[in-house]
Amino acid sequence: MTTRDRPAPPTALDQNALEELAPLADRDADQLRAIGTYLEALAAWKEAEADERPDSAADSDTDGGESDDDGIDGEYPEDVPERASVTTKEIAGTAYTYYQWRDGDRIESKTVRRE
């Protein structure tokens, strides 16, 4: 391929994906690199979500819809009640702990990034 030949989209894509990629061909190189970086991060996030699905299904089967996470060690942030449901997920290599609880008619939540 010479420098003037435009690369072809992957053949593994369905027709809808090929149509969605067509307008990107007119973007400049910096925008395409930024889009590529975003798509890589999105793919990693989707993989992490798929890896977490069995765990989240198991969490919903626990008593009262609450789940315990071994990484929490019973410690909750100061502004989170101990009755809160706890879920830990890893997204793009970063672990997050999600706390969720009911306060009257409202559902409250807090997200904490774990190191």
Domain boundaries, the chain: 15-114
- pTM value is 0.41
Beta carbons of 83 and 89 less than 8 angstroms apart: no
Beta carbons of 18 and 8 less than 8 angstroms apart: no
The per-residue pLDDT for 74 is 62
pLDDT at residue 62 tops 50: no
pLDDT at residue 73 tops 50: yes
pLDDT at residue 42 tops 60: yes
Mean pLDDT along residues 20-44: 86
Place 60 in a pLDDT band, splitting at 50, 70 and 90.
Answer: very low
Mean pLDDT along residues 35-41: 84
